[in-house]
Structure 1
């Protein structure tokens, strides 16, 4: 019961990582309000400041405070190249993926400070670390999230409100479903995630466990950090073992 007595908001809670995290947080004793456009406790456009502010105010009024905000909602925008994505696509992806977490920090942190502290977590991505894991707007939006949590941590100095990010690798969710379906249709499901040392894709619960750590007092000294959960994918630049006269075990 690592979150016993805590009050948490999770966006993007209708499926995938958000749903798995909401379920896990509840098992660990938290009162959780899941928000999404579909399939969650509360309808919320995570990229709308008005919606985010109203959601936080409602939770604080109903439950008496706020301890955890997991700004998990996001959209991919597909894999179009920089020459194919137009201004409208860029604006929408940045609105949801980057502005959404920024508004979560802005409106959640004051309530957490009143309670003596709290934890804000944002979903970034390995795509935010380097290219090759998403479209250009998605990659830029997630890189912005990684630096956003660093800025947030600094600007909340003295508040005991921690701000961190999680950078998932390939996880089977609604966002990546087309990748998994295409691989299965071609009989190549075993190739999914083969570029990381664990040679597999991840499950939503594996990201949920990372969120649980960051939300809990076990991470009481972790702040302004981007926790990578990708099976080791980002631990190395791509290279070919055979080209160096080496083979894997």
Structure 2
């Protein structure tokens, strides 16, 4: 077996569509044995924010495949774009349960198994919305900021275990969560406006995030730990302004 993940056993949550689905396919193509988990559309049915179900997911993987080397905690929900004043505590609790408690549970149950194997890699999906305002709703943004801090704390608490914990911060990626943005723009003939605020002037594809996850999961990232890797076309590289295309002159 060849590939960058040859001989590795991986779990990917949120595997039914978008980034998760692309990651499952990519990891398998790179030689890993992958258990894809989601509420629907994946081989293992799992609520990523439910402790008993995550425990069962890890136990199932170890029992059927002999161990665990990689956990990509990718499952998440958007929660919409309502303002702070239009949401209640129940809205926040559900968004935080999936987006932040989910990666916490992945770390809690994956790390002991990985330690017994001599190490491993845990990757969590955060967001540019966790870096600053303007890229998501308030609860979503807060949850993703929590993920960024969580991987830093976890990396520190796992010192000496040879377990790397990192996050990916996607920008605007075409997934089920953002489909309405892309479809609305296309229906209005405004597809060229998708992603126009970033220097690449386009939205991203799930495979572009999956490629980042592959890097962090692989031994090529053996010295990358406690980091939040931004994959957003350059959106977060500056304060927002109206980018002109390269070579365009003004009068």
TM-score bracket for this pair, using the shorter chain length:
over 0.9
- Taking the aligned partners of 1:69 and 1:151, their CA distance within structure 2 comes to 17
- Shift, 1:239, TM fit: 2.9
- Taking the aligned partners of 2:47 and 2:12, their CA distance within structure 1 comes to 12
Contact 1:75 1:175 in 2 (8 A): yes
- Taking the aligned partners of 1:130 and 1:205, their CA distance within structure 2 comes to 24
- Taking the aligned partners of 1:22 and 1:9, their CA distance within structure 2 comes to 8
2:206 corresponding residue in structure 1: 204
Match of 1:34 among 22, 33, 36: 36
The answer for unaligned runs of 5 or more in structure 2 is none
What SS is found at the alignment partner of 1:83?
helix
Aligned positions of 1:49-128 closer than 5 A = 49-128=51-130
Q: When the two structures are superposed, what TM-score results if normalisation uses the length of structure 2? A: 0.96
What SS is found at the alignment partner of 2:23?
helix
Match of 1:44 among 22, 43, 46: 46
2:145 corresponding residue in structure 1: 143
What SS is found at the alignment partner of 2:27?
helix
Q: How many residues align structurally?
A: 245
Aligned alpha-carbon RMSD (Å): 1.2
1:6 corresponding residue in structure 2: 8
2:178 matched to 1:176?
yes
2:225 corresponding residue in structure 1: 223
- Shift, 1:54, TM fit: 0.6
- Taking the aligned partners of 1:247 and 1:117, their CA distance within structure 2 comes to 53
- Taking the aligned partners of 1:123 and 1:40, their CA distance within structure 2 comes to 18
Aligned positions of 1:185-200 closer than 5 A = 185-200=187-202
Contact 1:241 1:247 in 2 (8 A): no
- Shift, 1:223, TM fit: 0.1
- Shift, 1:240, TM fit: 4.5
Give a deviation string over 1:176-213, Cα, whole Å, max 9, x none: 01111111111111100000000000000000000000
- Shift, 1:247, TM fit: 5.6
